[in-house]
Structure 1
């Protein structure tokens, strides 16, 4: 299997893992405070990440890598988990998953700004079309019903897209699992303090489902998923492999309907199928055409 194909396989596995993030977060915030959930998941994943770095005796990143690691930490360790947890206090996971369809466009834009990639013009057509389908669906559902929830989800997408692109670019140098582990370790002191500051007075009212949700987002969403995802983005290209996120709403909606018994309307399925088709068009035009002299 060549490097590009391996990147797409790794990216697909990462998307499958991330698809359970929002349903698991939705379950967890029913019994746990969103801020406590965000910090606790980061602490659990951070301790595991620190153990991995120590076991494999990984070399510390250089000073010039710290800014990139801080951006990754702010985007995917703090920003996206906290903003989505707050949003899921206002909207269902099925509704929030639709916004994930905007992630490929956000990731591609930051891939250009931070990763130096230059997809072909047709790529942007398919990427924007997929995003337009998602946004149009959200508007049709009536964003006025929960402007706070939708605003928080949009902010989460921007933070996540930046964290994805920055981490993928850094993964080419440090390695995929190393990047997310160092970002988690970097944020660990602050997250430890925040966890104890927001510790509930009692866990008696916290159900088993909430603990399962916390376990999933800590182990899979915060650590294991990124091992595959950053590797996929680094090998297959940030903009190209990032379009696999268009598949995430499909898997997420299936989980929301199966596990949480949330209603999935026929329009949700139609929109999801539409964005899935866009991923194939975007994949075809993801790489920039090089002049013959440059290619030679």
Structure 2
């Protein structure tokens, strides 16, 4: 595949067209959030048969193979050299960093407690976006975002019994690296198609993921069950590739801050999946928190920068 010439205008035109359709952008970002909401339950399933290192390595390799096949079939040229640093940030944040840190945390943490990270992720992403991309959301936006984040954190902490665990350091580190990956990916998705952003980031991580897979599988026993296989397949195809494809397209269309606030609904969706798939119990506070979060999301989507 040839290096993409800076004179090539087609990708920029396509992305510009998407950015002019905010309704479609909201839908795409919402689909991404739905896919991400299944990540923690799928990880819990995957850990039934894989060790944490082998689970992350295998999902990364599988996702990279899917992405690489799509790039080859579509005959997508290599990105310009100036974009590789940004793609490396995306890979370090969302392909390797966040999955590994959260998977290690979920060995001792419940999905409800881990959802605290997701509750703070929209606010952290908006902050990093303001620093990196130069976005300046309105005061109304920040008030609604902080209120939504506070509601989510209060709910998820209450769900986990209010106790801090030894996994908290891993979860907060995951929060930071993921927000950096989202911010850089959202920036790149305005100059190249979103699926190519995550596709190239996955391929870029393949030289690390393949040897990591070999070492991890040699040291961590694997027991293939229906749950573990389903979990790793969803993590690779859904969370790691397809979910990020629509997520980055949505961020490019409606902006990183507004798209990130849709993730306020993600912890609540995760808790619903945790009840249905993992048998965890949900308190009566869920619908009240959901209503508060939906109001905050509506305000952030209407707030003008």
Structure 2 length-normalised TM: 0.88
Distance 1:204 1:17, change over 3 A: closer
Structure 1 Cα separation of the partners of residues 130 and 288 of structure 2: 30
How big is the shift at 1:169? 0.6
- Judge which range, 213-222 or 126-135, deviates more: 126-135
Instruction: Determine if the alignment matches structure 1 residue 48 to structure 2 residue 66.
Output: yes
Structure 2 Cα separation of the partners of residues 223 and 253 of structure 1: 22
Structure-2 residue corresponding to 1:183: 201
Structure 1 Cα separation of the partners of residues 95 and 217 of structure 2: 19
Structure-2 residue corresponding to 1:69: 87
Distance 1:248 1:164, change over 3 A: same
Structure 1 Cα separation of the partners of residues 223 and 178 of structure 2: 31
Distance 1:275 1:82, change over 3 A: same
How big is the shift at 1:113? 1.8
Q: Please, which of 195, 199, 202 is the counterpart of residue 213 of structure 2?
A: 195
Q: Please, which of 247, 256, 259 is the counterpart of residue 229 of structure 1?
A: 247
Structure 2 Cα separation of the partners of residues 115 and 26 of structure 1: 35
Structure 2 Cα separation of the partners of residues 207 and 113 of structure 1: 45
Q: Please, which of 203, 222, 225 is the counterpart of residue 207 of structure 1?
A: 225
Structure-2 residue corresponding to 1:239: 257
Instruction: Determine if the alignment matches structure 1 residue 219 to structure 2 residue 237.
Output: yes
Instruction: Determine if the alignment matches structure 1 residue 248 to structure 2 residue 266.
Output: yes
Structure-1 residue corresponding to 2:12: none
Structure-1 residue corresponding to 2:75: 57
Which stretches in structure 2 are left out of the alignment for 5+ residues?
1-17
How big is the shift at 1:28? 0.9
Q: Deviations over 1:33-73 (max 9, x none)?
A: 11111111110010111111111111111111111001000
Q: Please, which of 159, 173, 191 is the counterpart of residue 155 of structure 1?
A: 173
Structure 1 length-normalised TM: 0.91
Structure-1 residue corresponding to 2:47: 29
How big is the shift at 1:204? 6.3
Which stretches in structure 1 are left out of the alignment for 5+ residues?
289-296
Tell me, yes or no, if the aligned pair for 1:94 and 1:264 is still in contact at 8 Å. Answer: no
Tell me, yes or no, if the aligned pair for 2:29 and 2:259 is still in contact at 8 Å. Answer: yes
Tell me, yes or no, if the aligned pair for 2:51 and 2:221 is still in contact at 8 Å. Answer: no
Structure-1 residue corresponding to 2:285: 267
Q: Please, which of 108, 115, 125 is the counterpart of residue 107 of structure 1?
A: 125
Structure 1 Cα separation of the partners of residues 283 and 72 of structure 2: 48
Structure-1 residue corresponding to 2:31: 13
How big is the shift at 1:160? 1.2
Structure 2 Cα separation of the partners of residues 166 and 237 of structure 1: 12
Tell me, yes or no, if the aligned pair for 1:170 and 1:179 is still in contact at 8 Å. Answer: yes
Aligned to 2:190, the other structure's residue is in SS state helix
Give the number of equivalent residue pairs: 286
